[in-house]
Chain A
Amino acid sequence: MVEPILSEPILSVRGLHTSFAAQEGTVRAVDGVSFNVFEGRTLGVVGESGCGKSVTARSILGIVERPGRVTGGEILLRPGDGGAPVDLLKLSPDAMRKVRGREIGLVFQEPMASFSQYYTIGNQIGEGIRLHLGLDAKAARERAIELLDMVGVPQPSRRVDEYPFQLSGGLRQRVMIAMALSCDPRVLIADEPTTALDVTTQAQILDLLRELQEKKGLAIILITHDMGVIAEMAHDVAVMYLGRAVETGPVRDIFRAPRHPYTRALLRSIPTVLAKPRSRLPTIEGSIPHPFNRPQGCAYHPRCVEIIDDQCRTEEPPEAGPETHRIRCFLHGGHKGAVA
């Protein structure tokens, strides 16, 4: 595979913070996440349940549900015309509506929940096209058929008049992708796009995403908890733990030589078809803390087998490491005893 030349990122998330205020306390769902997304490349965002993947996606799109609120950071989008990057967090709701769909498309895990049951899929794909591109109903329908064909829905001119409940899970996800791409966005955010699907259908959808990326130079943010999917699909990866990206860098580097103790432990604990039958897996002790009981210092320290000293228990490790491979762990920078 030829690596695309690293230019300016299309989308750059800097120190993003999003929290939910509740009676029991505040959940820092996203707590200082930074990453870059490039044209023609896929950034995988991976991590266990509750680590903040979906809230990150929702923050980028400006659709965080109440009582959630973005409390800090920047989300810089480079405009298509080569102008200076725009901070999406500073845009008006109206301007943001234009960005959604037009510049950034979104695919969810459960397509059924994101469709209306009362409109045909043609109508639903067409709606965005009419809104953003100003096409009339007839032209929008033609475009919807083209899009369905592009994502591999068989007999698109018949399917365009069907309702979502008439489609299988795999076809629904294809329609969802067609809808997300209807206005030719440059960035696609896919939040667990294949988690609800069977493996053979998952393979079809991942293949489709790869093909569309090649054709259109899409920048993709692929959110998943499946390291296998990341290894297969992503160029770069951000590994999240309790609202933080603890390690970010090229997929090959991180899978071959993970540096953060959490990434190392996580990769070792994944079952694979290559294992010896009935072989025990290395485990990570304990479980993910409840977001209200977020540990002091490095949030991973209670489970970490490589913990250095009290600094891990009391201070938050800064981002460190080479420019393209960032790690938040005192083993790699910021430790007063200078272990690194």
Chain B
Amino acid sequence: MSETLLEVRGLKKHFPIRKGLLRRVTGQVRAVDGVSFSVRKGETLALVGESGCGKTTVSRCILRALAPTAGEINFTIAGKTVDLAKLSRAQLRPLRRHMQMVFQDPYSSLNPRMVVGDIIGEPLLINGMTDRAERRRRVLELMELVQLPAAYINRFPHAFSGGQRQRIGIARALALNPELIVADEPVSALDVSVQAQILNLLLDLQDRLGLTVLFVAHDLSVVKHVADRVAVMYVGRMVELAETEALYSRPLHPYTEALLSAAPTPVPDAVSTRIILEREIADPANPPPGCAFHPRCGHATERCKQERPEMIEAEPGRFVACLRWDELSLRGIAAMT
């Protein structure tokens, strides 16, 4: 068993809802409401779920772009563990280089007035690599790593395709040899043919550099190709976490089953019995009592409306938050083709 790089415990992030002239707080959006998981060194953990379930908020809390409302974010570096949630800005500064972000939109995340060499070299400069020649050597090394031709070093981002811009973003994120990469929907803005190139690049880089990746995505097909383990979120909470194959072939949570069933597969006549969930995703400002999924769940009972399921270790390495998980026998992807 590999060591733990990141351990998130009871993480909460609530955003106040303000109304009226006095901007009085009238409620809270419970964007993240008690999430726990850990990320092992060298693995890719995918965080999946539908729009608004809190994926980006979790990753922004981990990078401390947001201050968590509650919980611990234990990060282990050079044998020492620190709780990022408790650190001040100044205390965080030396740690930031170990955690880098790759963004969804390669178009808006790059400074249009900087050439590629400067974009990739900027984090190096900020962290004290003032020697031009040395910086250039490192930039070229990084460009080779992400398969960008060295000849492009003086071009501006607008001259690049979406896939190339995403490569620039990845090179920049890797500049300081981070331990952890947080990639928030890194391929969802890309065309299919380019998406495959970037996914393969991420897999290669991880093998070569031993990176640890938190991969945030809503597309379960994409996730299947990159993740070692998958965590599923629903309305601010985690509902299931398991090894990728186990989660896809034998989901334990009814929401995971429904998500898998709704994912379109490029095989005609594949799905004859798709699960069509009723209603819509609950509002995190006003989550349903009990299990937040109960209004849409085909297996809900009276108990589900009142009692909130906690995340438990159902089997070694498999976690689920459903009151009825051991009574249900849910369908995985094998049953859908």
In whole Å, how far is A182's beta carbon from the nearest beta carbon of chain B? Answer: 24
A231 interface residue per 8 A CB criterion: yes
B130 interface residue per 8 A CB criterion: no
B214-243 with Cβ < 8 A to chain A: 218-222, 224-228, 243
A93 interface residue per 8 A CB criterion: no
Residue among A225, A252, A275 with max Cβ neighbours from chain B (10 Å) = A275
B258 interface residue per 8 A CB criterion: yes
In whole Å, how far is A219's beta carbon from the nearest beta carbon of chain B? Answer: 19
Note all chain A residues with C-beta closer than 8 A to B218: 198-199
In whole Å, how far is A58's beta carbon from the nearest beta carbon of chain B? Answer: 21
B131 interface residue per 8 A CB criterion: no
Q: How far is the CA of A170 from the CA of B262 in the complex (A)?
A: 15
Interface string of B264-299 (1 = CB under 8 A from A): 111111110011110011000000000000001000
Q: Indicate if the CB atoms of A287 and B245 lie closer than 8 Å.
A: no
B333 interface residue per 8 A CB criterion: yes
Chosen A-B contacts, 23 in total, with CB atoms closer than 8 Å, are A170-B280, A199-B262, A200-B262, A201-B281, A203-B276, A204-B277, A226-B264, A232-B265, A232-B271, A266-B193, A269-B193, A269-B195, A270-B221, A271-B221, A271-B224, A272-B224, A272-B265, A273-B333, A278-B226, A281-B196, A283-B200, A287-B162, A287-B164
Note all chain B residues with C-beta closer than 8 A to A274: 224, 265, 267, 333, 337
By Cβ-Cβ distance, the 3 closest A-B pairs, closest first, are: A228-B264, A198-B50, A281-B196
B203 interface residue per 8 A CB criterion: yes
B194 interface residue per 8 A CB criterion: yes
A282 interface residue per 8 A CB criterion: yes
Interface string of B97-141 (1 = CB under 8 A from A): 000000000000000000000000000000000000000000000
Note all chain B residues with C-beta closer than 8 A to A231: 264-268, 270
B227 interface neighbour in A252, A267, A270, A278, Cβ under 8 Å: A278
Interface string of A158-189 (1 = CB under 8 A from B): 00000000001011000000000000000000
In whole Å, how far is A294's beta carbon from the nearest beta carbon of chain B? Answer: 15
Given A267-B266, A274-B337, A283-B196, verify A225-B191 contact (CB < 8 Å). yes
Interface string of A278-302 (1 = CB under 8 A from B): 1111111001100000000000000
B244 interface residue per 8 A CB criterion: yes
B75 interface residue per 8 A CB criterion: no
A114 interface residue per 8 A CB criterion: no
B75-109 with Cβ < 8 A to chain A: none
Q: Indicate if the CB atoms of B277 and A255 lie closer than 8 Å.
A: no
Given A200-B259, A275-B225, A278-B227, verify A270-B161 contact (CB < 8 Å). no
Note all chain B residues with C-beta closer than 8 A to A230: 266
Number of A-B pairs whose CB atoms are under 8 Å?
152
Interface string of B36-64 (1 = CB under 8 A from A): 00000000100000110000000000000
B163 interface residue per 8 A CB criterion: yes
In whole Å, how far is A87's beta carbon from the nearest beta carbon of chain B? Answer: 33
Q: How far is the CA of A266 from the CA of B51 in the complex (A)?
A: 27
A232 interface neighbour in B243, B264, B276, Cβ under 8 Å: B264
Q: Indicate if the CB atoms of A273 and B51 lie closer than 8 Å.
A: no
4 new A-B contacts, CB < 8 A, other than A203-B276, A281-B199, A288-B161, are A199-B259, A204-B276, A269-B195, A283-B196
In whole Å, how far is A259's beta carbon from the nearest beta carbon of chain B? Answer: 16
Residue among A256, A271, A284 with max Cβ neighbours from chain B (10 Å) = A271
Q: How far is the CA of A275 from the CA of B258 in the complex (A)?
A: 18
B173 interface residue per 8 A CB criterion: no
Note all chain A residues with C-beta closer than 8 A to B193: 48, 265-266, 269, 283-284, 287-288
In whole Å, how far is B288's beta carbon from the nearest beta carbon of chain A? Answer: 15
In whole Å, how far is B266's beta carbon from the nearest beta carbon of chain A? Answer: 4
B203 interface neighbour in A256, A265, A273, A280, Cβ under 8 Å: A280
A202 interface residue per 8 A CB criterion: yes
A202 interface neighbour in B220, B245, B262, Cβ under 8 Å: B262
Given A278-B227, A283-B200, A284-B193, verify A270-B266 contact (CB < 8 Å). yes
Note all chain B residues with C-beta closer than 8 A to A171: 280
B319 interface residue per 8 A CB criterion: no
Q: Indicate if the CB atoms of B280 and A201 lie closer than 8 Å.
A: yes
Q: Indicate if the CB atoms of A273 and B248 lie closer than 8 Å.
A: yes
Q: Indicate if the CB atoms of A269 and B192 lie closer than 8 Å.
A: yes
Note all chain B residues with C-beta closer than 8 A to A284: 193, 196
A70 interface residue per 8 A CB criterion: no
Note all chain A residues with C-beta closer than 8 A to B199: 271, 280-281
A277 interface residue per 8 A CB criterion: yes
Q: Which residue of A lies closest to B255 (CB)?
A: A200
Note all chain A residues with C-beta closer than 8 A to B161: 287-288
Note all chain A residues with C-beta closer than 8 A to B269: 1, 252
Note all chain A residues with C-beta closer than 8 A to B337: 274
Q: How far is the CA of A280 from the CA of B163 in the complex (A)?
A: 17
A229 interface residue per 8 A CB criterion: yes
Given A267-B266, A278-B225, verify A288-B191 contact (CB < 8 Å). yes
B306 interface residue per 8 A CB criterion: no
B197 interface residue per 8 A CB criterion: yes
Q: Indicate if the CB atoms of A49 and B191 lie closer than 8 Å.
A: yes
Note all chain A residues with C-beta closer than 8 A to B333: 273-274
Note all chain A residues with C-beta closer than 8 A to B320: none
Note all chain B residues with C-beta closer than 8 A to A204: 276-277
Q: Which residue of A lies closest to B243 (CB)?
A: A277
B209 interface residue per 8 A CB criterion: no
Q: Indicate if the CB atoms of A228 and B265 lie closer than 8 Å.
A: yes
Q: How far is the CA of A226 from the CA of B243 in the complex (A)?
A: 27
Note all chain A residues with C-beta closer than 8 A to B226: 278
B260 interface residue per 8 A CB criterion: yes
Interface string of A81-112 (1 = CB under 8 A from B): 00000000000000000000000000000000
Q: How far is the CA of A251 from the CA of B260 in the complex (A)?
A: 23
A227 interface residue per 8 A CB criterion: yes
Q: How far is the CA of A275 from the CA of B274 in the complex (A)?
A: 19
